[in-house]
Structure 1
């Protein structure tokens, strides 16, 4: 089998041009969204209050929380990363702190965990593993990383910013294999990509494709294109896949940055459908539907089976929305004004709204222990529960 670059290497490749331009890509995409004068969001009117949800607890993580740093869920706990690199683990049922550890410097990814070990990547490109609050090993990397490590099957899988892949022994940190990423990608987004396990296949986002990888060797089993580069410059041709994704069985649906949303059957790598979609953050979904927000705040739903449009609402336009979370009969999104929106899965109508602080929500809401967990940029974590 061939790897992404048709070879397997023992050391992660450096990619200085790719890494130097990651911030530029993000900045230019933001400018293209709104220009200099960002339109003002519409007034939403009274809270519809169609479902009863209350704030059960709040907790502080000791510092501001960076944007696009996913919250890690493991059972009934959530792990939140602060700007200084401190990781706070909270009981989602009560909000109580259960663990706290730090690699000693800011992190570039969220936490990867299998419940026994937690793994992070630091700004100086150190891959660091912990058991509880004790560091058990550290390994130097030669490329930056923005996607949380995947810890599964006694191994740590890592996707670097240049979309190279590598695997390490979770107990010792010994490198098991490494595969180069594409060599012709001048820009990579500085935000989490796609890296997950589906059965005995490692599924990764590589440029505009989902790739199924043998977790034992790094060889590629299949590649499924969701978007192709278009445009006249490097920014317009950027088609990187972004997290989060929606998985139901072997069906994995994902977003290609500012290009498309699509679903793939990971049992054979077949593309089931793609639809044009100009969004910059991940998607959510359930057995019937896939949900996502456009960069202008329009929220859309597609039929999971064939990609046909189910509904679209524009009432949340010009609010920087997170990736959606499907929770019960709701689609949950949060915005940069600190509001959490619960919409109907059936038609997108507003069910209720929840408020955090005005610092804005840092990353997509998650659910753990029957609790909806929302993290503010201020470092306050909110736990909401149904009445």
Structure 2
């Protein structure tokens, strides 16, 4: 375990160094094209969370509330329609992962590797973990599910913090320090372990079934790193995921059968609707695959090198955020830009959330925005 965590931390440092050292050589972002005035979207409300938000921190929508957290540990729940604060809490320590919530209980993990659970804003319990966590906990069925960077998953009782079970399987010696897959589908918890999707019984932590989404390739351990990254995309019983810098694939969750897998380099999660699966590659080309076959329906290069977020499918459109805080709405039929929304200059921090025809956007400087999309 210690070797694995050490190697994971070393790999994270290597990747960070590569990004920083190559920053000056990175291609210039594609200039934005002029758009005609459009009435396809309008702002509903915006609020400030009072601190910066790292990319690993994500919003959760449950029971009519948006629950969000900033780096400093401020956790708040707000009404979907108005943004009015329903409750607020404070976690001691810098937050590394979160927030998971069912509307009442909220769970985050600190950089000191402590799992902290709040009840309507009041701290209920906290417990130390034996691994670093960058994936948002999942709160469901009176349980808190936590996935470490080693892709082990532990379940805790949300009431008293008792550890109920731990699932861990031998895997590659390297693990990706990026949010993984922790996705409920009906009465099953699907998790990513390396390039494999594993279905767990959420009550017992036992394996129901599993499937390999991508085949690692390369001449060394770093090149063969193919961990599944979140967020996964779900439509009905179909689950689609990305394997880091390797492939995109979809699985029939009822039979654990991978229906298709296509090679693509990329690091961000996916989105899908009844017709297409959407994702951006490592150069920010946005691609739409046909949901049933995996055939490419369209590919656009109008947003190259703009550091795009994971996409969101909404109202017959595809939304992607960029490093300047713009949210681009693309036609799902051919990918052309139909509208552009501004969050006033701060990059989009985490995957956007869709609730009906409303789009929720969280920015790196702690801005939370709601837009109505026609």
Q: Which residue of the other structure, out of 129, 138, 153, is the alignment partner of 2:126?
A: 138
Could you say which residue in structure 2 is the equivalent of 1:303?
290
Could you say which residue in structure 2 is the equivalent of 1:321?
308
Deviation, 1:43, is: 2.3
Alpha-carbon distance between aligned partners in 2 of 1:27 and 1:13, rounded to the nearest angstrom: 21
Could you say which residue in structure 2 is the equivalent of 1:203?
190
Alpha-carbon distance between aligned partners in 2 of 1:375 and 1:189, rounded to the nearest angstrom: 24
Could you say which residue in structure 1 is the equivalent of 2:262?
275
Deviation, 1:289, is: 0.9
- Alignment length, in residue pairs? 374
Could you say which residue in structure 2 is the equivalent of 1:68?
56
Taking structure 1 as reference, are residues 375 and 274 closer, same or farther at Cα in structure 2, changes over 3 Å only?
same
Map 1:1-387 to 2 at 5 A.
Answer: 15-24=4-13, 26-27=15-16, 30=19, 36-186=24-174, 188-368=175-355, 370-386=357-373
Could you say which residue in structure 2 is the equivalent of 1:3?
none
Deviation, 1:169, is: 1.2
Alpha-carbon distance between aligned partners in 2 of 1:51 and 1:206, rounded to the nearest angstrom: 43
Question: Which shows bigger deviation, 344-353 or 20-29?
Answer: 20-29
Question: Which shows bigger deviation, 195-204 or 295-304?
Answer: 195-204
Taking structure 1 as reference, are residues 154 and 270 closer, same or farther at Cα in structure 2, changes over 3 Å only?
same
Q: TM-score, normalised by structure 1?
A: 0.91
Question: Which shows bigger deviation, 105-114 or 274-283?
Answer: 105-114
Q: TM-score, normalised by structure 2?
A: 0.94
Residue by residue, what CA displacement relative to the aligned partner does 1:32-84 show, whole Å, maximum 9, x if unpaired? 9x664221122222223444322222211111111232211124322222121
Deviation, 1:209, is: 0.9
Q: Which has the higher contact order (CA 8 A, sep 6+)?
A: 1
Deviation, 1:234, is: 2.8
Deviation, 1:369, is: 6.6
Provide the alpha-carbon RMSD of the alignment: 2.0
Q: Secondary structure at the match of 1:98?
A: strand
Mapped contact 1:357–1:376 kept (Cα < 8 A) = no
Any unmatched runs of 5+ in structure 2? none
Taking structure 1 as reference, are residues 36 and 133 closer, same or farther at Cα in structure 2, changes over 3 Å only?
same
Mapped contact 2:56–2:136 kept (Cα < 8 A) = no
Taking structure 1 as reference, are residues 26 and 79 closer, same or farther at Cα in structure 2, changes over 3 Å only?
farther
Taking structure 1 as reference, are residues 127 and 59 closer, same or farther at Cα in structure 2, changes over 3 Å only?
same
Mapped contact 1:163–1:182 kept (Cα < 8 A) = no
Alpha-carbon distance between aligned partners in 1 of 2:16 and 2:254, rounded to the nearest angstrom: 37
Q: Secondary structure at the match of 2:251?
A: strand
